[in-house]
A and B are shown apart, each in its own frame.
Chain A
Amino acid sequence: MPIKWILHWQPNAGTTVNTQILSEVSQCAESINGVKEGRWKTILSFYRAMVREQGSANEFPRDFVGISLAEQPSKYFLVIRGQRVVVEAESNIQMIMEKLQSYKTRFVLTFEGNQYQLGDFQLRVGKVVPTHSESLRGIVMEMEYQPISSCEKSHQIMGEFFDLWQEALSKRSLQGHFVHLEPNFTEYGLPDQYTLQHTAVQYASITAQMISTAQTVQPNRN
């Protein structure tokens, strides 16, 4: 499976993400000869423990998420970031979780947008919105390099492409930039060869970072 970096938009201090930025990013992909190929969608659900004693939910993980990836809708991924656990399952694991009634989904985010082919690279630019809402919570980008599957071997070329992309984007004077913070895949027990589990871990990670950024900007929210 080709290596993929997932980036999220970090707004400048005192600013927030908006649809104009999303539009500029998409235009930038096209301006560097990215060929629009179609749409993509990934869905991330936050699970919350159902507890009998009020106020004891903190005994259980608060960073437990379930992810349905665009590439493989027949699969479902469960991640507990704090415990560095990722599990790949069939999509009906969602039904099993519902039947157990120990955890319920409390909030669902949709990542969706357009996909562009750029030589051996595939770019996906997407908005992050709560499901059934148009309230923009973030912008993400997927950067995939098709010839290489090794995380280690791809690092240089991915870094170089990322730098080119940042340079192209910087000409648009946007209030922010894309960030790539790669999780430590080894801590999750993942190999050097890239898999969908790596993608799931990246989505869990950038979601946590976006939430952290949002809480920094608006600490009294919640």
Chain B
Amino acid sequence: MECVVQGIIETKHVEALEILLQGLCGVHRDSLRIHELCLKSVPNLGLVSSEVRLLCDLEQPEPTWTVRHIGGAMRGAGAEQISVLVRTMAESKVSKNALRLFYALGYKLDHELLRVGFAFHFNRGAPITVTVSSVNKMLKLHATDEAVPVTPGIQLVEVTAPASSENYTEVAAAMTSFCEYLAPLLHLSKPGVSTGVVPTAAAAAASLMSDGGGTTL
């Protein structure tokens, strides 16, 4: 299970966001270069269709693979009152033959993306990860060296934290509290709820860039 919020930011403000995050998190950023392959079951497989994602971390000296399954989001009155999305999520590290395995099992490539950017992993009431990345599509199959941005000039910001059925309200509260610090630069909301860019972003970014983040926003 995990808690998730997302937002977008103009690429020209990413450097300022990084300065802000560096100050808030107190840790170094990790570079990110993830090839994400989204697989879907063929029509006859399974009583319902299923999706699974394979993530290849290209930032490592030797690429490493993860299988991720994202399940349904929590619904109901309780879910609506929480400002983050709570959904089931399971992932497992796998060896490099995973794509061949899923193809053999009856899964087909639905689409693939290359996410390039950085991430901060830290603890602030909960283990939180902030990922800032450009989402790129490949013009040829698996050609990660020839990827182009899906939305030029715009990057995706994701804030996630692992949760369980026992603690998701606390995790959601920790995330919401943290996200307030980012408000001058971007709005974060549940995936699927678009809020666009923030009008104060330019001024906030200028302030951060002028004194390296010493100014309190």
User: Which A residues are within 8 Å of any B CB, using their own CB?
Assistant: 49-53, 56, 59-61, 64, 78, 80, 83, 85-90, 92-93, 95-96, 99-103, 189, 197
Residue contact A96 to B95, C-beta cutoff 8 Å: no
Q: How far is the CB of A218 from chain B (nearest CB, A)?
A: 30
From known contacts A96-B90, A96-B92, infer whether A102 and B67 are also in contact, taking CB-CB under 8 Å. Answer: no
Residue contact B41 to A89, C-beta cutoff 8 Å: no
Task: Select from chain B the residue with minimum beta-carbon distance to A57.
Answer: B44
Interface residues as binary, B104-115 with A (CB distance below 8 Å gives 1, 0 otherwise): 111100000000
Residues of B within 8 A of A50 (CB): 45-47
Residues of A within 8 A of B95 (CB): 86-89, 197
Residues of A within 8 A of B206 (CB): none
Task: Select from chain A the residue with minimum beta-carbon distance to B93.
Answer: A90
Residue contact A78 to B45, C-beta cutoff 8 Å: no
Q: Does B101 contact A (CB under 8 A)?
A: yes
Question: With the chains together, A101 CA to B43 CA distance in Å?
Answer: 13
Question: With the chains together, A61 CA to B93 CA distance in Å?
Answer: 23
Cross-chain contact of A49 among B43, B45, B67, B101 (Cβ < 8 A): B45
Q: How far is the CB of A83 from chain B (nearest CB, A)?
A: 5
Question: With the chains together, A60 CA to B91 CA distance in Å?
Answer: 24
Task: Select from chain B the residue with minimum beta-carbon distance to A93.
Answer: B92
Cross-chain contact of A64 among B41, B71, B98, B105 (Cβ < 8 A): B105
Residue contact B101 to A87, C-beta cutoff 8 Å: yes
From known contacts A51-B45, A83-B104, infer whether A99 and B71 are also in contact, taking CB-CB under 8 Å. Answer: yes
Residue contact B71 to A85, C-beta cutoff 8 Å: no
Residues of B within 8 A of A103 (CB): 105
The total of Cβ contacts below 8 Å across the A-B interface reads 88
Sampled A-B contacts (12; CB under 8 Å): A49-B105, A49-B106, A51-B46, A52-B44, A59-B106, A61-B105, A85-B104, A87-B97, A89-B67, A92-B91, A100-B69, A101-B48
Residue contact A80 to B104, C-beta cutoff 8 Å: yes
Interface residues as binary, B45-65 with A (CB distance below 8 Å gives 1, 0 otherwise): 111101010000000000000
CB contact list, B5-42 vs A, under 8 A: 41
Q: How far is the CB of B49 from chain A (nearest CB, A)?
A: 9
CB contact list, B93-133 vs A, under 8 A: 93-95, 97-98, 100-101, 104-107
From known contacts A86-B97, A99-B71, infer whether A52 and B104 are also in contact, taking CB-CB under 8 Å. Answer: no
Q: Does B176 contact A (CB under 8 A)?
A: no
Residue contact B52 to A100, C-beta cutoff 8 Å: yes
Q: How far is the CB of A195 from chain B (nearest CB, A)?
A: 10
Residues of B within 8 A of A49 (CB): 45, 105-106
Question: With the chains together, A190 CA to B92 CA distance in Å?
Answer: 21
Question: With the chains together, A100 CA to B41 CA distance in Å?
Answer: 9
Question: With the chains together, A96 CA to B89 CA distance in Å?
Answer: 9
Cross-chain contact of A102 among B46, B92, B100 (Cβ < 8 A): B46
Q: Does B88 contact A (CB under 8 A)?
A: yes
Q: Which 3 A-B pairs have the closest CB atoms?
A: A102-B46, A90-B92, A88-B95
Question: With the chains together, A78 CA to B105 CA distance in Å?
Answer: 11
Residues of A within 8 A of B45 (CB): 49-52, 60, 102
Residues of A within 8 A of B92 (CB): 89-90, 92-93, 96
Cross-chain contact of A85 among B50, B91, B97 (Cβ < 8 A): B97
